[in-house]
Amino acid sequence: MKLRFEGDVTHVMPGIQLLLDELNVTIGEDGFPVKVESSIEGELQIGRDQSQAYIRYGRKHQFFRGLGLLIQHSRKSDSFHLQENQQFDQIGPMFDLSRNAVLTVDGFKLMLNKMALMGMNSVMLYMEDTYQIEGEPYFGYMRGRYTQAELKEIDDYADQFGIEAFPSIQTLAHLEEFLKWEPIRHYRDTKGALLVGSEQTDSLIERMIETASAPFRSNKIHIGMDEAEELGRGKYLDYNGYVSRFDIMIDHLDRVLAVVRERGLKPMMWSDMFLKLASGGGGDAAYYDKETSIPEEMARRIPKDVDMVYWDYSHQEPEDYEKLISNHRPLGCNLVFAGAVWIFNTFGVNYGLSLNASDVALQVCKQEGIREVYATMWGDDGNEGNPFAALLGLQLYAEHAYSEQKPSQAQLAERVKFCTGIDMDTFLQLKDLDEIPGQEPNNAKQSNPSKFLLYQDVLLGLFDKQIEGLDLSNHYAELEQSIREKRDSSAELDYLFEMPEKLCTVLKRKSEIGIALKQAYDRQDTDTLKQMAKNVLPAISSAVQELRIAHRTQWHRMFKPFGWEVIDIRYGGVITRLDTASFRILAYTEGRIDRIDELEQERLVFSTTNRDNHKGVGWCSHYYRMASPNAFYHVLNPF
């Protein structure tokens, strides 16, 4: 399709040029005329007849959504009119760039192209220690940290689409990867929390804020401060004695905000610690306690010039969000909402939970007048997942942002196909890596068998009792075939499905092999054991190697190389343990040992949570707990 733009397109033309190939569009004097005009704030109008088209927009980013809608609808009609009103002032994703998977600049640009077509106007870069600070060589050391030039390049690119990029950092806790280094121990309260109140820490935070904010046009900055339950319980306690965590938190927040105000920045922070302290508890249960009330004295002491970000990734009833939003109101701060697309701790995407929870949450946010929302995509425990697989979830956020009502499934399907080139049903298959037999639909209890069944040891079988009787071999064989059939080799993002397909190839063989080994051993079936050792286990090992190669290819197309070594080591562990399993079994079947101690052990349920009510098959957050029940560390020292 060839277009000719009429009107002032000076400030959007750079962005148009970036999207031409993606849209399969050219520009020329003999192109179809498109009038570009301004409209009132928040309103977007797109239409055409047989002689001309028009795009009327209020804000820069809306133009690019409008351009996409014009192309999309022109492919099926030569006469239409569309009008949308933006429901949120700011809408966009938060990318976790701290759990090993640091997007390359080119990877970021590709994501921004998709976001532009969706009509998003904000992107948050979550960087715990993955940005350079002058004078702090251990900050982000060997972690793929961004240079100032790289961050500026990302910001410049985003700005061409009217997308506001800004940093999300940590100024209190979640700094384990920095604080682990011995030469900077003077900053450490506990293994993850800064030693607040010290001059050295104050200087560090000043440089953090200065460095993180400098490359961006935006004056926004997220200062973090979530999940800091260990605050004041390490070296701080040794130096100062007991001080209430609320007092420590407020004193530290005041210090951080002084730095922020001095630079004219607009801060936001995660809200959970104040709700947890108000409830007198800790952890997520305290944060989501519906009976929590903010004491007047607490509310009075909390600064009001910092936005509070209420994060909630799993509730599915409107009443839950309404009550928890109400719990936040006494804080007296502007409220921002952060939901999630669940790519964390899985090889897939928990779309069942993500889409349902987000659908409800975003509709409540509209009703409650919350004007700024984000979709987080965390990368907990090494980031086997990736944000491109989450594009269907981001599309749902985008469609909510331009509709008073919940978007229909048909609308979502049509839009995600246009913006990404991938069918909605193809994306949705990723949920079935974890949504297996034996649990309720939509995986609301967040089981992650795609990860623990890959990494569990075939001789130790930590999760064998967990999945007993669920016929997972057939489940993964059918899913492998389904993924293969739905792939489209002509699609730019088709490569995203190579790794999930290869994972199914592994799991259709490996998921229940431990159960089969134990059964054969218990009945002293040495012929079956020998056949497994000589044929089945080596075949699984070969399949794991193919999976590793597919995963490696995917990783290096979107992420910096730092962090891949962790996944490489995990795959290597699976492969070498399969080799050892064959060695041990053959030693037994050939009479060189009289028993296999690992197979003598009774198999126990890994987790009783939801196992017996058919709601879930288990969740494990850490690789080292999946791989072995034995010690990976001598002591998990909190200090």
- Could you report the per-residue pLDDT of 421-448, keeping only the tens digit for each? 999 999 999 999 999 998 889 999 999 9
- E-assigned strand segments in 148-265: 164-168, 220-222
What pLDDT does residue 164 have? Answer: 99
Provide the 3-class DSSP secondary structure of residue 312.
coil
pLDDT > 70? residue 636: no
pLDDT > 90? residue 318: yes
Residue type, 222: H
pLDDT > 90? residue 612: no
What pLDDT does residue 361 have? Answer: 99
**What is the average per-residue pLDDT within 282-286?**
87
Q: Do domains 2-85 and 434-627 have the same CATH topology?
A: no
CA dist 189 → 138, 219, 282, 421 (Å): 17, 30, 19, 48
Its CATH class, for the domain covering 434-627, is mainly alpha
What pLDDT does residue 262 have? Answer: 98
Domain regions of the chain by residue span: 2-85, 90-400, 434-627
Question: Among 37-41, 100-104, 119-123, 375-379, which is the least confidently predicted range?
Answer: 37-41
Provide the 3-class DSSP secondary structure of residue 258.
helix
Percent share of the chain, pLDDT over 90: 95
What pLDDT does residue 545 have? Answer: 99
**What is the average per-residue pLDDT within 56-64?**
98
What pLDDT does residue 459 have? Answer: 99
pLDDT > 90? residue 614: no
At 635, the pLDDT band (50, 70, 90 cuts) reads: low
What pLDDT does residue 637 have? Answer: 65
**Secondary structure (DSSP) of 388-417:** GGGHHHHHHHHHHHT-SSPPPHHHHHHHHH
At 6, the pLDDT band (50, 70, 90 cuts) reads: very high
**What is the average per-residue pLDDT within 613-633?**
90
Q: 249: which residues sit within 8 A by CB, 6+ positions away?
A: 172, 225, 228, 231, 273, 274, 277
Measure the CA–CA gap between 353 and 39, rounded to whole angstroms: 37
At 454, the pLDDT band (50, 70, 90 cuts) reads: very high
Is the pTM here over 0.95, yes or no?
yes
Provide the 3-class DSSP secondary structure of residue 83.
strand
CATH T-level fold of 90-400: TIM Barrel (3.20.20)
At 396, the pLDDT band (50, 70, 90 cuts) reads: very high
pLDDT > 70? residue 85: yes
**What is the average per-residue pLDDT within 310-327?**
98
Structure tokens at 534: 């000589």
At 639, the pLDDT band (50, 70, 90 cuts) reads: low
**What is the average per-residue pLDDT within 458-485?**
98
Q: 407: which residues sit within 8 A by CB, 6+ positions away?
A: 396, 399, 400, 415
CATH T-level fold of 2-85: Double Stranded RNA Binding Domain (3.30.160)
Provide the 3-class DSSP secondary structure of residue 284.
helix
**What is the average per-residue pLDDT within 261-275?**
98
**Secondary structure (DSSP) of 552-603:** HHHHHHHB-STTHHHHHHHHHHHHHHHHHHHHHHHHHHTTSSS--HHHHSPP
pLDDT > 80? residue 638: no
**What is the average per-residue pLDDT within 223-252?**
96
At 20, the pLDDT band (50, 70, 90 cuts) reads: very high
**What is the average per-residue pLDDT within 133-154?**
99
